[in-house]
Amino acid sequence: MFSNQAFAVITAVVAILLSIAKVFLEPEPELPDNNLILESIESMFLNSWNDYTQYGYGSDIYAPISHNHRNFTGDDKPMGWIIVDSLDTMMQMYNYTLAENVNVTLYKTTDGSIDQSKLDSIASRNEQFKEAILKAQDWIQNTLDYDINAPVNVFETTIRMLGGLLSAYYYSTELQIGNPNVYLEKAVDLGDRLILSLEYSEIGIPYSSINLQTGNPIRNHVDDGASSTAEFTTLQLEFKYLSFLTQNDKYWKLVEKVYKPLYENNNLTSPHFDGLIPIYTVPETGKFFGENIRLGSRGDSFYEYLLKQYLLTHEQIYYDLYRISIEGVKKHLVSKSSINGIVFIGEKEFGLDSKGLSPKMDHLVCFIGGVLAMGATEGLPIEVAKEQAFWDEKRQEDWDLAQEITFTCYQMYDQIPSGLAPEIVVFDDGTSDISTNNWYQSFYNDFYVKPNDAHNLQRPEAVESLMFMYHLTKEKKYRQWGYQILQKFKENASIKDENDTDDSTIRYTSLENCFDVPTEKRDNLESFWLAETLKYFHLLFQDDVDLTKVVYNTEAHPFPVLDPKVLEEMSLTTGWTLDI
Ligand SMILES: *[C@@H]1O[C@H](CO)[C@@H](O)[C@H](O)[C@H]1NC(C)=O
Ligand SMILES: *[C@@H]1O[C@H](CO)[C@@H](O)[C@H](O)[C@H]1NC(C)=O
Ligand SMILES: *[C@@H]1O[C@H](CO)[C@@H](O)[C@H](O)[C@H]1NC(C)=O
Ligand SMILES: *[C@@H]1O[C@H](CO)[C@@H](O)[C@H](O)[C@H]1NC(C)=O
Ligand SMILES: *[C@@H]1O[C@H](CO)[C@@H](O)[C@H](O)[C@H]1NC(C)=O
Ligand SMILES: CC(=O)N[C@H]1CO[C@H](CO)[C@@H](O)[C@@H]1O
């Protein structure tokens, strides 16, 4: 007979082997027809949208369970938070359901006739998208007024509102729906208000907020007044595109001014940082405040916008800076879970010189899979990218890491009872004593979740990376993982009225706790559910997505790739250099 101890060891070993087998050998289910999946994504969007239209239209903040709603700013003027953010998703779905774009042969029944009810249902969704778009345009033209006497966050307002207006302009032009100039005029109005935050800055780095009416810049009220480093380094795509559209280089010049002090005043490329930014910066000096380095909140989109500026405008300096930072990420932040060897990206809370790596990873970090993949391939299918002169060992490493991290982000859903990821996880890397705490544990023991971090806000980043990985590889698994997550949102993040017999009151909301099943809901609709998560789902299941043609801003608003020759003729070029 085994001793108790030996038995415990054997049980533990068997459990580990089983869990490894489960993580890597799960059977992959066959997917329903693509068009059925796209249809269900469009319906999910319309369910959320129609509920918002009925009970909260025009408001910035909406609670789908109680139907409560309010606006951000003190004087109760709306910012267009949900409407502007959602517009281009509706345009994308409108385009996809347009009769001339529907492949009728896909709707043939077995006897060769066309399933007319299917076509009617597509046409009906198309009509709903069209009406919603035109109604939103009318609202933007006649109700939305940015002359608001209240402070707004420069970064959030830029990526969501300015970004949303600019991409609405772009799609409205491309798809010939509505009047694009409504969006551009509003974008210029908003852009002129926001840009003052950069214009008034001493060295080029803005305060975190600005009063839209008075132009008064407002220093951060916490963190000793420091600005979030990712916030002022995530304005560049929007304002550069605005410069392009208005032929006014003012915006372009001002947004790129943030980089020189940031790099030079901190020696950012020196081994002390290796291109990795602490998450706060003192706006008057450009010096970092604190040493907390992470790819999660306040750090994330700094890296994203280095690459995406290169992809949008082909300014080489941004690829070079991106390269330095990504080498820093690979050198300092990558580790593995001890049980299944799942690769994660951790944090250096006390700077690169400190010992160890904090194994904490925000769901937000999941954007990096898609960014690494786009940085390696520049949007070309992987097999084509590998034949380009630019392909080298470093890009191969980036590509490998992109695949690993995307798998990890899928695990952040697959190892959770509700099938939906928590806001933050802590990996068990074998070095810390986390298993003794009363935290939640993932199915196969790769990570733990603190009770306060167990909510799900319907965030997009994992689906975003799945979308990029699928279109660059055409590997079916990315759609299978995406489909699984989609179904979990459908089942576990949806609500409906108790007496609803025809599902007409279905809508989607955040979760208080993704470990509880049935799930406990949180009465909150994030605008990025409509702007990003459902858009990326829809793109994941489309067939002809060309990733070399558009760049998605950090709120999933698409801008067209700009021709460097045209930019040169317009004198829209990089105005700074760095010795590296
Ligand atoms: C927010 O703005 C919308 C649109 O103008 C308006 O209908 C609504 O009443 C405002 N909400 C509040 C709480 O004032
Ligand atoms: C609209 O749909 C057509 C046909 O699917 C596609 O080729 C085109 O790229 C789409 N346009 C946009 C802006 O998505
Ligand atoms: C329409 O779908 C059929 C069946 O999948 C396919 O063979 C055909 O190439 C498609 N046509 C177009 C124009 O995409
Ligand atoms: C930056 O690094 C250079 C060379 O290592 C050094 O001479 C300089 O003093 C450093 N500057 C700052 C601000 O740390
Ligand atoms: C649902 O129907 C029951 C029985 O008719 C009624 O008592 C209840 O108030 C209804 N609930 C709602 C939310 O209307
Ligand atoms: C409402 C709810 O929580 N539904 C489902 C969530 O997901 C699990 C499995 O992933 C189901 O068992 C629940 O019924």
Domain presence at residue 264 = yes
Domain presence at residue 4 = no
Number of domains in the chain: 1
Decide: 271 in ligand 4 pocket, CB within 6 A. Answer: no
Domain presence at residue 17 = no
Domain presence at residue 551 = yes
DSSP element (H, E) containing 289: strand 288-293
Residues 60 and 71 sit within 8 Å (Cβ to Cβ): yes
> What pLDDT is recorded for position 3?
56
Let me know if 264 is a catalytic residue: no
Domain presence at residue 496 = yes
Residues 309 and 236 sit within 8 Å (Cβ to Cβ): yes
Closest Cα to atom 3, ligand 2: which residue?
A: 101
pLDDT tens by residue, 366-412: 999 999 999 999 999 999 999 999 999 999 999 999 999 999 999 99
Coil, strand or helix at 288: strand
Domain presence at residue 61 = yes
> What pLDDT is recorded for position 471?
98
Decide: 501 in ligand 5 pocket, CB within 6 A. Answer: no
CA distance 152 to 161: 11
> Which regions in the chain score pLDDT beneath 50?
1-2
Full residue range of the structural domain in which residue 264 is found:
48-570
Domain presence at residue 268 = yes
> What pLDDT is recorded for position 1?
44
Nearest ligand for residue 501 CA? 5
Measured CA distances, 448 to 223, 249, 360, 432, 463 (Å): 28, 48, 9, 12, 21
Query: Which conformational region is residue 247 in: left (phi greater than 0), alpha (psi within -120 to 50 degrees), or beta?
Result: left
Let me know if 378 is a catalytic residue: no
Let me know if 423 is a catalytic residue: yes
> What pLDDT is recorded for position 10?
58
Ligand 6 center to 516 CA (angstroms): 9
Ligand 4 center to 406 CA (angstroms): 37
CATH number at residue 388: 1.50.10.10
> What pLDDT is recorded for position 405?
98
Residue of 461, 464, 526, 555 marked active site:
461
Closest Cα to atom 13, ligand 1: which residue?
A: 70
| pTM for this prediction | 0.94
Best residue among 90, 98, 101 to mutate for probing ligand 2's pocket (most ligand atoms within 8 Å of CB) is 101
> What pLDDT is recorded for position 17?
59
Ligand 4 center to 278 CA (angstroms): 17
Decide: 267 in ligand 4 pocket, CB within 6 A. Answer: yes
Residue 13: exposure state from Cβ atoms within 10 A (0-12, 13-18, ≥19): exposed
Known binder of ligand: residue 554? yes
Domain presence at residue 18 = no
**Residues with Cβ < 8 Å from 8, sequence gap 6 or more?**
none
Let me know if 156 is a catalytic residue: yes
Ligand 1 center to 551 CA (angstroms): 33
